[in-house]
Amino acid sequence: MKNIDLAWLVDDDKIYTYVMTRQLQQLDCCGKLETFGNGQQAIDALQSNSGNAGELPSLILLDLNMPVLDGWQFLDQFAELRLSKRVCIYIVSSSIDPLDHDRIQQYNCVANFYVKPVKRDDIQQIIAEVKRLVDQ
């Protein structure tokens, strides 16, 4: 059995999503991986599946700078959603602006924060944390 049934990548950087998908495949830890090009697409998908736990991810790897709806706006809207499943959000961004780091602390729904590029060890760490939470 996989550690995580469903994970989402929310990022507009196609190369990053490709690389991340490959890394997750190599680690063979996710049942299924879906990619969204911006925050709005992800929010729409969460809303339409809010009662359908099978279609909701256990893990979202979220970028901050994206068109249409950026990471912050995604988090604000995410907080308003009523979901039938616990979703862990990890921020993965290129930002090293300390203001961004402080701002992340204000969001309870964010489990942790990583600066790109994410190392293999980091991914394994994230997976382990999420698995522990899901198993609880």
Partner 1 sequence: MQTRPGLYQLASQLAGLGIWEYNLENGQVYINDIVRNIVELPGTQQPSPDAFLGFFEDASTIRSLTGEVTRTASPCMITTRLITITGQRKWVKLRIQGSYEQGMCRFLYGTLEDVTVEETLQRLLEEREQRFSQAFNNAPIGMALVGLSGSWIKVNASLCEMMGYPEDEFLKHTFQDFTYHADLEIDLGYVTQLLAGRIKSYSMEKRYLHRNGNLIWALLNVSLVKSSSGEPLYFVSQIKDITEQKRNAETIRAQNDRLLNFAHIVSHNLRSHTGNIKALTDLVLREANPAEASHLMRLLSDSADSLLETISDLNNVVVIQEKTSVEKQWLVLSEMVERVRTILYASLLQEQAELRNQLPATIQVLFNPAYLESIFVNLVSNSLRYRHPERHPVIDITATETGDSIQVKVSDNGRGFDMKLYGSKLFGMYKTFHGHPDSRGLGLFMVRSQAEAMGGSVTAESVVNTGTIFTIDIPKPRHEKY
- Decide if residue 58 touches partner 1 (CB under 8 A): no
CB nearer to partner 1: give 57 or 71: 71
The residue within the footprint of partner 1, chosen from 117, 128, 132, 133 (CB under 8 A), is: 117
Which one, 2 or 22, has the nearer CB to partner 1?
22
95 touching partner 1, by CB under 8 A: yes
Pick one of 31, 79, 97, 133: the residue that binds partner 1 (CB under 8 A): 97
How far lies 120's CA from each of 21, 22, 100, 127, in Å?
12, 11, 24, 11
Angle between helices 71-78 and 39-48 (to 10 degrees): 20
Q: What is the rounded CA–CA span in Å between residue 42 and residue 107?
A: 18
Number of residues that bind partner 1 (CB under 8 A): 25
Residues 65 to 94: which contact partner 1 by CB under 8 A? 65, 67-70, 73, 94
Give the count of beta carbons closer than 10 Å to the beta carbon of residue 1. Answer: 4
Token digits of residue 92: 């993965």
User: Do 93 and 115 meet the contact criterion of CB atoms below 8 Å apart?
Assistant: yes
> Between residue 6 and residue 45, which ones bind partner 1 under the rule CB under 8 A?
13, 15-16, 18-20, 22-23, 26, 37-38
Distance CA(47)–CA(81), nearest Å, equals 7
Nearest CB to partner 1, comparing residues 23 and 131: 23
